[in-house]
A = this chain, B = another copy of it.
């Protein structure tokens, strides 16, 4: 884990993924969709949402908990709404397909909403928002996730921090892109604090009794993440679980499987994806002009002392993304090592020889 990060070209990571998925006998479309979604994790600097997950994915596939040959089934489909059964395949694929369905529905009806049941962890929500943006649609993405927060005042991991993403196209520029979870910080931020031996500020986590703590180890020991804005983040997480889990027919609340710790059950993650077709609401050109006016008002707004620049939602991530596309992914040493082991096991070309 302490090895120096290596810069690896995005294309090399892509090739590595694809060659592994070939060994796992993934269909080509499946392999491609999952690979691109995982790469987006690295492009956003969320390496824990990328190839670092391959070992657990392989393990779950071997255990029959992730389906290497999912057969998606459209459970319901009427007008602007549909539900897709992900057949316990990789969530990246099911969510991509669902967003593409939502986009088609939006082109026809103005808005499209597609739920996904029986899915698995899908990586970064922003990726699916970007799929909408690539087609000049507004994308909205909701997913439930492994329970890591308590009910407000609770002392049990009851609900995921249930990420959401909203992405707005901006021709010639990166999208305006919100990608957030409903907790103040992520679980991996707490893990990092333990690794670094540092305390955590108040507002980040509680121990297993629901009592706020500055000790990150107490949070990892069946403690809970604290919702952003307390009752606001809690309320949002509940609503996202109702949309992504209860409404789709998937698991919800504490029944959403844990990717690493639950090696007996399928995850049964649920997603809810929407696309909005701008032309059904306003002339697209006018929308983009108005959006630029809004953005200009933000960028030219007076700044607080010490602030150098005012950023749009997603702008910082996008700069990291552009840098990574050029310079390659600074892959943490721990992940490089894991991928080396996978390469050996599956007789793949080593990523970093």
Measured in the bound complex, the distance between the Cα atoms of B178 and A145 in whole Å is 20
Select A246's contact among B113, B178, B290, beta carbons within 8 Å.
B290
Shortest Cβ gap from A249 to chain B (Å): 5
* Cβ contact within 8 Å between A297 and B235: no
* Cβ contact within 8 Å between A113 and B110: yes
Select A280's contact among B81, B241, B287, beta carbons within 8 Å.
B81
* Cβ contact within 8 Å between B111 and A81: yes
**Residue A172 interfacial (CB < 8 Å):** no
**Residue A276 interfacial (CB < 8 Å):** yes
* Cβ contact within 8 Å between B304 and A206: yes
* Cβ contact within 8 Å between B297 and A158: yes
**Residue A168 interfacial (CB < 8 Å):** yes
Select A78's contact among B184, B245, B280, beta carbons within 8 Å.
B280
Residues of A within 8 Å of B, CB-based: how many? 81
**Residue A294 interfacial (CB < 8 Å):** yes
- A248 CB contacts on chain B under 8 angstroms: 281-282
Shortest Cβ gap from A283 to chain B (Å): 9
Measured in the bound complex, the distance between the Cα atoms of B83 and A280 in whole Å is 9
Shortest Cβ gap from A130 to chain B (Å): 15
- A290 CB contacts on chain B under 8 angstroms: 246, 249, 252
- A310-B242 contact, Cβ under 8 Å, with A280-B79, A280-B81: no
* Cβ contact within 8 Å between B154 and A303: yes
Binding site for B on A (CB under 8 A): 76, 78-83, 108-113, 115, 138, 150-156, 158-159, 166, 168, 176, 178, 180, 184, 206, 209-211, 228-229, 231-236, 238-239, 241-243, 245-249, 252-254, 274, 276-278, 280-282, 286-287, 290-291, 294, 297-298, 301-305, 307, 309-314
Q: For the complex of A and B, list the 10 residue pairs with the smallest distance between their C-beta atoms, beginning with the closest.
A: A81-B110, A210-B304, A228-B229, A79-B109, A153-B307, A235-B313, A178-B235, A81-B280, A80-B109, A80-B80
- Given contacts A83-B281, A156-B302, could you give 8 more A-B pairs where the C-beta distance is less than 8 Å? A79-B79, A79-B80, A113-B276, A151-B310, A206-B304, A246-B287, A246-B290, A247-B282
